[in-house]
Amino acid sequence: MKRLLIFLLFIISLSNCENNKKSTHNKEQDSKIESGYHNHKKVAELNKKGIEFSTESFDKAIKIAKELNKPIFIDFSTSWCGPCKRMDNFVFADSIIGDFYNENYICLKYDAEKGEGITLANKFEVQVYPTLLFLSPKLEIKLKHIGYKGPEEFLKLGYNAVNKELSFGSVPNSLSKYNSEIKNLIEFSSFVAYLNPSEKDSVLFDYFQDISQSKWYSSQYFHLIENHSYSIFSPLSKFVIANRNKYSELFSKARIDKFISGLMLFAINTPKAVYGKSYNNLSDDEINKLLFSELLKIDSVLANKNRLNHEINLLCKTVRENNNDTKIWDSLFTKVGYYNNHYLHLDKEWNNFLNDWSHRASILAPINLEIANYNETCMKRAKSKLAENDYNKFAKGLSIGTVERFVSIEKQSRNSKKELTIALRILAESYSVSKIWANDFLSRINVSDEDIINHKEAIIKNAL
């Protein structure tokens, strides 16, 4: 319990900063913190009646809103946004929140970087996530909030947007208790995030020992497991795997499969870190064989998927240093082709875009951009082997990777500028990038070359 005591001290130090009062860590304080979790007995039920987001298209949702004379609530998020996930698991999942929003709003949810979400994010000038948008049935913007809101604050937003008053004293008592619990959970989550990866599993498990096991199935506590688990062999990871069917029913099979697959990939990438010092006497081959045999017992499909993905990523790095070796290129194309035929459908289902040609090509970008005609050579090989759609992803990924490499190197040479110019030209002429990426990386290119400046301007103009 030593690590748990460290966290309790961490919470108390936060309280000191906020209230400017001195406090000591004692049994009474521990009791108060513990009671904040155990007094609220229905947390496991909260994810059953949260906000019901409509699956209708935006046009159809507008029509429904006008017919029912209901305002519209839209949550704009992205797959990588941490505060967005906290909203999903800690706020939208609450039954009191769900009761109010389901009754008073047509609720919509969009990934601002996918499908219809891209168009709507541009329409309503959404650039930061999460963005919480409240519209009248006539699409007038009643309220637009950027960033995370806790349960109480989010409920008040909903009341204010429909011109209803909600005084602090009239907030349901159960929601106030839940709101307090969520604040503690988020503080603990922030604490764990700063730990060394090897410490996270034991700290999490110590913490969960004081939590009723029924709560381990709630969205709030699974969020902690999902975001901070390090080893696939940790007690909490094993608990999820042992109760995989129940978790899949609660959170979808795709989400649980993605969680297990992510732990597998981490284990395959760093097997000795996962197993610990007791296995240091084994050779790399021995520990890899042992690890893979264990992963096969958990899920043979996911184990084979992640082993192949690991091999492909290693090949990408090998190609980067031997880009004229035809055999290595052929091996890469063959393995990726097999992966795409057997496992790519899982990545699409999980919204995991790290295993397509765009990501793989970004790995191929050379470290220092000093290899003459590197991009041109790679593009020619890819064009001769890949279908048009995959080639487009390859060209975009390699170009993005080249730009990111350029801004990271200290000394810029004639060849690095040449490779950068090629990459920017390809992006400017053929592919759109996100505004966030464009603002982040293009702003760091301090080169006076006219072609580079023109390409940068074109990319920014067309950014999504």
CA within 13 Å, CB half, 374: 27
pLDDT at 275: 73
pLDDT tens-digit profile of 110-158?
999 888 999 999 999 998 999 999 999 989 999 999 999 988 889 888 8
Compute the radius of gyration of the chain from its Cα atoms: 25
Closest alpha carbon to 425 in 404, 395, 446: 395
pLDDT at 94: 83
Closest alpha carbon to 344 in 322, 312, 376, 381: 312
Architecture (CATH level 2) of domain 47-173: 3-Layer(aba) Sandwich (3.40)
Which of 26-30, 188-192, 392-396 bottoms out in mean pLDDT, i.e. has the lowest? 26-30
Helices (H) and strands (E) in the chain, counts: 24, 4
Closest alpha carbon to 73 in 166, 167, 137, 165: 137
pLDDT tens-digit profile of 404-413?
999 988 888 8
- Rounded CA gap, 303 and 28, in Å? 47
pLDDT at 116: 92
User: pLDDT grade, residue 3 (50/70/90)?
Assistant: very low
- Rounded CA gap, 239 and 44, in Å? 16
Q: What 8-state DSSP symbol labels residue 440? A: H
User: pLDDT grade, residue 16 (50/70/90)?
Assistant: very low
pLDDT at 162: 78
The CA distances from residue 369 to 261, 295, 423, in Å, are: 33, 38, 11
**Per DSSP, what are the bridge partners of residue 75?**
109, 132
pLDDT tens-digit profile of 65-111?
999 999 999 999 998 888 998 899 888 988 888 888 998 899 999 99
Buried b (16+ CB within 10 A) or exposed e, 417-440: bbbbbbbbbbbbeebebeebebee
Are β-strands 106-111 and 141-146 bridged in parallel, bridged antiparallel, or unpaired?
Answer: unpaired
Average pLDDT, the chain: 83
CB-CB contact of 357 with 394 (8 Å): yes
SS3 for 141? strand
**390: pLDDT strictly greater than 70:** yes
**174: pLDDT strictly greater than 70:** no
**212: pLDDT strictly greater than 60:** yes
User: pLDDT grade, residue 19 (50/70/90)?
Assistant: very low
**40: pLDDT strictly greater than 60:** no
Percent of the chain scoring above 90 in pLDDT: 47
User: pLDDT grade, residue 4 (50/70/90)?
Assistant: very low
SS3 for 134? strand
Domain extents for the chain?
A: 47-173, 196-251, 356-464
pLDDT at 448: 85
pLDDT tens-digit profile of 233-291?
999 999 999 999 999 999 999 999 999 999 999 999 888 777 766 677 778 888 889 99
**39: pLDDT strictly greater than 50:** no
pLDDT tens-digit profile of 345-372?
998 888 776 778 888 898 888 877 888 8
CB-CB contact of 358 with 394 (8 Å): yes
**216: pLDDT strictly greater than 90:** yes
The residue-averaged pLDDT of 331-343 equals: 93
pLDDT at 117: 92
Tell the residue number behind the tokens 């090989």, with chain if given.
381
Give how far the C-alpha of residue 64 lies from the chain's centroid of Cα atoms, to the nearest Å. Answer: 32
pLDDT tens-digit profile of 373-384?
899 999 999 999
**2: pLDDT strictly greater than 70:** no
User: pLDDT grade, residue 171 (50/70/90)?
Assistant: low
Percent of the chain scoring above 70 in pLDDT: 85
